Amino acid sequence: MMRPAVKESVAPLISCSCPIDSAYRIKGLDFASHAIGLEIFHGTHDLLQAFYSGLQREISACVTPATTGPNEKLRYSSDRRNNMTSRTLDHPLIDQLEQELSELYRLMGYRRVGFYEIGVYKQGEYFRRHYDYLEEKPTSRARTILIYFSDLSLGGELFFPLIDLMLPPLNGLIVSWSNINDNGKLSFPTLHESTVLVNGTKVVLTFFASL
């Protein structure tokens, strides 16, 4: 994967592709790369960690109980997820991540990448099985991109049950997959969940790439 171009005065937050299957012994990545267009790569660890450390106060101040629903206008609280989220987090490094990801995924034919939300998970919190695909606007969430900030000892994995793939939320890890198939419809194998967090704190940024 090519590194996106950034201004020389700004250190890139996204660094390189990562052979994570050999580094972390995750099974099924070869199949997942074909089934859902899965990509896994690293952020620049020190910069992302500094980004997270500097934002902890802002994150704590802006997150609220997560909602869910059939579309953006009809969102409601439910037992499908019980973590905290915010879609109003405003920070220059969020803008930088959007720019780098947009430049990266334009090379793959996507129009742009936009920030969606930051999610905070604590002990006992989860996001049940769901799709990111929006039927009313299928190209607006053509690809999901997750960026993890926290190392955990147990739980909080990203799990794709239909392809039996489990990914740990490692610090600096960036995970991306396509939500639509070659016909522009829902890719059924992208059903996924955030498993129950047993201990620690998980922070994840969600971006969507549009076509």
Which pLDDT does position 132 carry in this prediction? 93
Of 158, 169, 167, 168, the C-alpha closest to 195 is 158
**104 assigned to some structural domain:** yes
In a domain, 1, yes or no: no
Q: What is the mean pLDDT of the chain?
A: 78
9 in any annotated domain: no
- Asked whether residue 10 is assigned to any structural domain, the reply reads no
Residue pLDDT, tens place only, 85-125 = 777 777 777 888 888 889 888 888 999 999 888 888 999 99
Q: Is residue 194 part of a domain?
A: yes
Residue 56 belongs to some domain of the structure: yes
Domain span at 33: 21-66+80-210
CATH number of the domain at 32, please: 2.60.120.620
Give the pLDDT of residue 194: 95
pLDDT in tens, 26-70: 565 666 777 888 888 776 656 666 666 666 667 766 666 666 655
Q: Could you tell me the two tokens for 104? A: 């990266």
Establish if 2 belongs to a structural domain: no
Q: For the chain, how many structural domains are there in total?
A: 1
Classify residue 139: in a domain, yes or no: yes
CB burial string 140-161: b at 16+ within 10 A, e below: bbbbbbbbbbbebeebbbbebe
Query: What is the model's pLDDT at position 138?
Result: 87
